[in-house]
Structure 1
Amino acid sequence: MISPLWDRPGFVVLLILGLVVKRNLWAMVLVLGLAARLWANVPVSEVLAHHRSYNVFILGCRSFGHRVVVVVKRLRFYGDLRRRLLQEDPDCCRITVGLLFPGARVLYAIWWYIDWDTPSLGGRKVPFLCRLRVWEYMRDYFPIKLVKTADLDPRKNYVLGFHPHGILVAGAFTNFCTEATGFSKLFPGLRSNLLMLPLWFRAPFFRDYIMSAGLVPSDKESASYLLQRKGGGNAVVIAVGGAPEALDAHPGDYTVHLANKKGFIKLAIEHGADLVPIYSFGENEVFDQVENPRGTWLRYIQERLQSIMGISLPLFHARGVFQYSFGLMPYRKPINTVVGRPIPVEKNKKPTAEDLDVFHQRYMDELTLLFEEHKGNYGVPEDAHLLFQ
């Protein structure tokens, strides 16, 4: 009997070589695990069909705090695993099929190889998915509102600076990755793309999900591609404070990591894109976080891990599904995202340090003014002010 293509060591070796060239770490681990079974002369198809005990942990999808984790723990089957999954739990099968079925897994790895550069080339936003009713439920849960203070000319491109990051950037996702708050109606002619850590675009399946919402990697190449599109109407949304700012996302805290952030200013000047400050009132209120002031051992560990992994690990909690004292669901507190006035920017391919300083200070002044003008509308104490780090 001829073994399937994916059970042949030669095919696996070729696939590994291709993935090495693309530096696709996640897929390499996946295929190396498959190769290890082949090294022991045990075809993967037989392992899946006849083993009686499995420990399979599968990450389905994550949407800024709403994690769907499918866990199949020590399944003891006395028959065909595939048939059992299909008959008893079809929903589980839909999520696990790509990881449990070696053929589908290899096909997805090939697709991943071909599609590797898509996130950096504008992604693959699916307008239909952005209009699903589920996002309206998410909007109403908090609730979340998008507030417009000035018109944005659709013939121009924009760099929108989002503050603060919060724990999970819920306001940015709901307002700029879905139509739940009416972005396209408030700003007709604009297409929004939210920047996200490149790490997440290396996760199988999850990368396709986040691209469908208009997310792209937070690197210069991705942002430049969008701002170079002819005709204008492109709005690149950047959570300027990034992962480090999440460690300061405590209720009642108005710390903004901006004092030394000039990369997005340079990006805007190089492409002649107007700068637009955004402040999301309530973003820091939907989760509690374990106290981690600077200088403590906890903050040191968090910052150290963030420098190594690229993501921050705030120890947050809020409420549960049926009780309000503890859990990982966010509190139902309003988030009001206020979009400020655009700052005109003239295109300059080689901005000087002085140019960066001038526009950076102007941006900080506009963000401060935006906060002071609107804080009284959203329950912020009169004596509270932005603290720039």
Structure 2
Amino acid sequence: MDNSKIDVTSQLSADTFKDNVKSGSLQADKNEDQSSIDRPEPLVFEPSKEIVELSRRGGLSMVLQTLIASLFTALVLIMPFLIVYTFVKVSWMRLPLAAYVAFCYLDPAVDNGIGRRVEWVRELGIWKYVNAYFPVRIVLEEQLDPSLSYIFGVSPHGILCFSGQVVMGSKKSGFDEALSGLTVHPAALHHALTLPLFGAFLLSIGAISSSRKSIRQCLARGKGHSVGIVIGGAKESLHTNRGSRKLILKNRKGFVREAIMAGAPLVPSYVFGENDIFFQVEHPILRRLQRWLQSKMMFALPVFYGRFGLIPRRTQITAVFGSPIFVQKNSSPTYEEINSVHAKYILQLHRLYSRFKPVYDPEGDDLVIA
């Protein structure tokens, strides 16, 4: 998607979607589940009027959006650097910084299944500029029951996983309104949540650890407490590039096991636009080094660039959430049960992508699941 061609005002109305369905342009592949043809029209939540108007402005407003989006992108790089730099250069800050780093490492909120969600952080004015730069559209195949707890399988990971930060973390994205009554906690690596400053930021937007313990505690709370898991994880980030639609999912079954153990419905989700924000440098020698680092540190280090360096490409983000896959609760699921639900999940994700790709990603590659 070219930056110059983004038009937030060109939005999909229910009538347009209905016409597309009638013309057959949104039919899934014949070898896949054809049930989408008989499904009701989706619920489409477009960006708010305030976000649309801000996104259309030029001049200083556009400069401000670009600057804030770029700083937002660099958070994971800047925050740890500031800690190290201050520790080295400001001697009187060393003791309090050491105490703070120790607190981050031992922070009970990291693994308590609810995090440390801070609503005023999610409501900060800075988010409107981030959302104007990445206008978010939420699409639901059906309204979800707020009395249930769900596991949202989110794909793709992208470079910096904007689906977890911009979509789920911000109150300006429309996510809370679309999934009214649900409290969705993005799951992040345990180590990411213990990073000074950056970990505090993730916790404040509702993130929890992706550990089994944390996920189980979250789902056990009930009352709509749900988990958003980016299934492909760090490994999938190495497959991120403009037009690429490759997901690491074939052997990722832990989220299915947790769903069955909790009796939590699985919601297949796909975020169109996530993979088009950055370009990734690809080279055989670099890739071998990245895979080695990933095996040792449990996270990937993609080498990427946007516009003029780290400035992200201005891309519309459309988060599509499919119909829930209900499971029979079983505290000790068998391999056969897990494999059966996992196969159904992949089938429904394919169907979801096939249904909405012609509308939201006509130039993207076909979905590949590895």
Distance 1:202 1:237, change over 3 A: same
CA distance in 1, matches of 2:81, 2:280: 27
- Where 1:101 maps in the other structure, the secondary structure is helix
The answer on whether the counterparts of 2:79 and 2:196 sit within 8 Å (CA) in structure 1 is no
CA distance in 2, matches of 1:125, 1:352: 35
Specify which structure has the higher proportion of strand.
Answer: 1
- Matched ranges for 1:163-312 at <5 A: 163-230=155-222, 232-292=223-283, 296-312=284-300
CA distance in 1, matches of 2:362, 2:334: 37
1:136 maps onto 2:128 in alignment: yes
Unmatched 5+ residue regions in structure 2? 1-70
CA distance in 2, matches of 1:387, 1:275: 20
306, 312, 315: which is aligned to 1:318? 306
Distance 1:317 1:343, change over 3 A: same
- 2:3 corresponding residue in structure 1: none
**TM-score relative to the length of structure 1:** 0.71
Distance 1:376 1:106, change over 3 A: closer
130, 149, 164: which is aligned to 1:157? 149
Give the letter aligned to residue 247 of structure 2: V
1:362 maps onto 2:316 in alignment: no
CA distance in 1, matches of 2:310, 2:358: 29
The number of residues matched between the two structures is 296
C-alpha displacement at 1:169, in angstroms? 0.8
- 2:37 corresponding residue in structure 1: none
TM-align CA RMSD: 2.5
**TM-score relative to the length of structure 2:** 0.74
CA distance in 2, matches of 1:372, 1:125: 35
CA distance in 2, matches of 1:253, 1:110: 40
Distance 1:278 1:65, change over 3 A: farther
CA distance in 1, matches of 2:80, 2:255: 38
Q: Once the two structures are superposed, what CA deviation does each residue of 1:255-276 show, in whole Å capped at 9, x if it has no partner?
A: 0111111000000000011000
Give the letter aligned to residue 369 of structure 2: F
C-alpha displacement at 1:310, in angstroms? 1.3
C-alpha displacement at 1:291, in angstroms? 2.4
Larger radius of gyration: 1
CA distance in 2, matches of 1:70, 1:308: 20
The answer on whether the counterparts of 2:110 and 2:194 sit within 8 Å (CA) in structure 1 is no
Distance 1:64 1:319, change over 3 A: closer
Deviates more, 1:95-104 or 1:122-131: 95-104
CA distance in 1, matches of 2:245, 2:146: 31
- 1:21 corresponding residue in structure 2: none
CA distance in 2, matches of 1:316, 1:110: 31
Distance 1:69 1:202, change over 3 A: closer
CA distance in 1, matches of 2:296, 2:159: 19
Q: Percent identity?
A: 33
Distance 1:106 1:313, change over 3 A: closer
